[in-house]
């Protein structure tokens, strides 16, 4: 009996024995967790929504005809991110524009001005174009 008690006492004082016990326990927990996660069916991840939209996507989001979006572009009443071909819009700006009754909010107007895309009334012709 003394040998067993002495062995147990030695094992308790041995830090490697304690570490081994803890490691075995952690491995068991990980194996159990791995089994439980395997039982959970992976849910289908939603398709990532693009931050940028083209004119067709904006017309679908706004539920208007494509020609209407082109008219908004011409009047400068829709927030445009890039007027290069193809015209690019930012989703969050279009949503803000829609929530504001298809009118530019002060924030959107400031963004457009910073992008130099605000249409100014010039009496029917542009004074900005120089040849």
pTM above 0.85, yes or no: no
Spatial contact of 108 and 96, defined as CB atoms under 8 Å apart: yes
Q: How does DSSP assign 7-63, residue by residue?
A: HHHHHHH-HHHHHHHHHHHHHHHHHHHHHHHHHSPPPPPPPPPPSEE-HHHHHHHHT
How far apart are alpha carbons 55 and 43 in whole angstroms? 32
What are the average pLDDT values for consecutive 10-residue runs of the chain, which has 131 residues?
54 80 89 77 65 94 94 92 89 94 93 75 45 38
pLDDT (0 to 100) of residue 6: 56
How far apart are alpha carbons 13 and 60 in whole angstroms? 72
- Provide the 10 A C-beta neighbour count for residue 81: 19
Helix-strand-coil percent breakdown of the chain, rounded to 5?
55, 5, 40
pLDDT (0 to 100) of residue 48: 65
3, two tokens: 């040998």
Spatial contact of 104 and 79, defined as CB atoms under 8 Å apart: yes
């Amino acid at each position: 009996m003394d040998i067993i008690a002495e062995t147990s006492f030695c094992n308790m004082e041995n830090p490697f024995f304690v570490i081994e016990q803890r490691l075995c326990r952690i491995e068991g927990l990980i194996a159990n967790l791995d089994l439980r996660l395997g039982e959970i069916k992976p849910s289908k991840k939603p398709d990532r929504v693009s931050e940028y939209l083209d004119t067709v996507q904006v017309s679908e989001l706004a539920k208007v005809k494509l020609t209407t979006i082109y008219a908004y572009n011409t009047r400068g009443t829709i927030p445009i991110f890039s007027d290069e071909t193809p015209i690019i819009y930012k989703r969050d700006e279009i949503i803000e524009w829609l929530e504001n009754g298809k009118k530019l909010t002060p924030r959107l107007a400031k963004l457009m001005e910073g992008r130099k895309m605000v249409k100014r009334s010039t009496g029917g012709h542009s004074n900005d174009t120089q040849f």
